[in-house]
Amino acid sequence: MPKPEVTIIIPNYKTPDLTRFCLRSLRLHSNPERVKVIVVDNDSQDESTEYLRTVQWIDLIERHDIADESGPEMHARALDCALKKVDTPYVMVMHTDTIVRSDAWLDFLLKRLEETPDAVGIGSWKLEVVPFWKRLGKGLEEVVRRCAGRHANHEVRYLRSHCALYRTDAVRRAGCGFFDGKTAGASLHRKLEEQGGRLIFVEAPELMKFIRHLNHATMILNPQSADRKTARPAARARIQRELDELRCAELLKRDDLDR
């Protein structure tokens, strides 16, 4: 049996149906001989933990005693916990609100990475299509800031952990992992660039042919979320529309994909 090429790391926290949908989409559209999947449960102690214990094709790591960790800290430390166990040439990090929608998803990313000799990682910045009116509003906001003599809001782009594929040896050489007190992946991205590696950004419309990221769904669908923006009924309605579009209900019936 051939050795897997890619280890996929997915942190989980208290979103049972979303986790089930994510993993089943991954199983449906991936060759099990090519990928190894590690799911890290961040002490959910709910139905999602119970579900993960039944999935036969994943390696499950259960983190406990997570006192006073913020969501970003929890997520980044979970990635580093699993990173220690990676023994494949490539490592990929994903969220439970990242849904695979094409059998060609892995070949698409690997080909783009492998055809660029100095590339050490590939993924996206924000995996969403921003409406024209929002882009226009953002542009006008920057114009107003400049006219008022204020600095423009320049976002520092890095491969986001909702979908990022790296060469494992490059990540090991970087030596910083995903946790540094900031958003997972930001410092790693900077370190890889400092070492001469190239990071490839795939534009959202192209990558979304293969993978969908349900923006903020892990917070919106988490019953304990206290964030005012993600707790709004409109946010939950948006996620439900996207789930319906991706035929979530059909995959939630596919118990066979857990074996």
Query: What CATH number is given to the structural domain containing 39?
Result: 3.90.550.10
- Quick check: is 114 in a domain? yes
Instruction: Looking at 103-148, list the stretches that DSSP marks H as alpha helix, in order from N- to C-terminal side.
Output: 105-114, 132-147
Please give the residue range of the domain that contains residue 191.
Answer: 6-124+159-258
- Quick check: is 136 in a domain? no
- Quick check: is 73 in a domain? yes
Per-residue model confidence as pLDDT tens digits over 70-82: 889 999 999 999 9
- Quick check: is 186 in a domain? yes
- Quick check: is 21 in a domain? yes
Segment of 119-128, 147-156, 168-177, 179-188 carrying the highest mean pLDDT: 168-177
- Quick check: is 1 in a domain? no
Per-residue model confidence as pLDDT tens digits over 18-72: 999 999 999 999 999 999 999 999 999 999 999 999 999 999 999 998 888 888 9
Q: Which residues contact 230 (CB under 8 A, 6 or more apart)?
A: 216, 219, 220
**Mean pLDDT score of the chain, rounded to an integer?**
87
Quote the pTM value: 0.87
Q: What total of structural domains would you count in the chain?
A: 1
With 0-12 / 13-18 / 19 or more C-beta atoms within 10 angstroms meaning exposed / middle / buried, residue 218 is buried
- Quick check: is 111 in a domain? yes
pLDDT the model gives residue 133: 43
Mean pLDDT of all residues in 113-136: 77
pLDDT the model gives residue 151: 53
pLDDT the model gives residue 102: 97
At residue 231, does pLDDT exceed 70? Answer: no
Per-residue model confidence as pLDDT tens digits over 125-170: 988 655 444 444 444 555 555 576 665 555 789 999 999 999 999 9
- Quick check: is 152 in a domain? no
Share of the chain above pLDDT 70, in %: 83
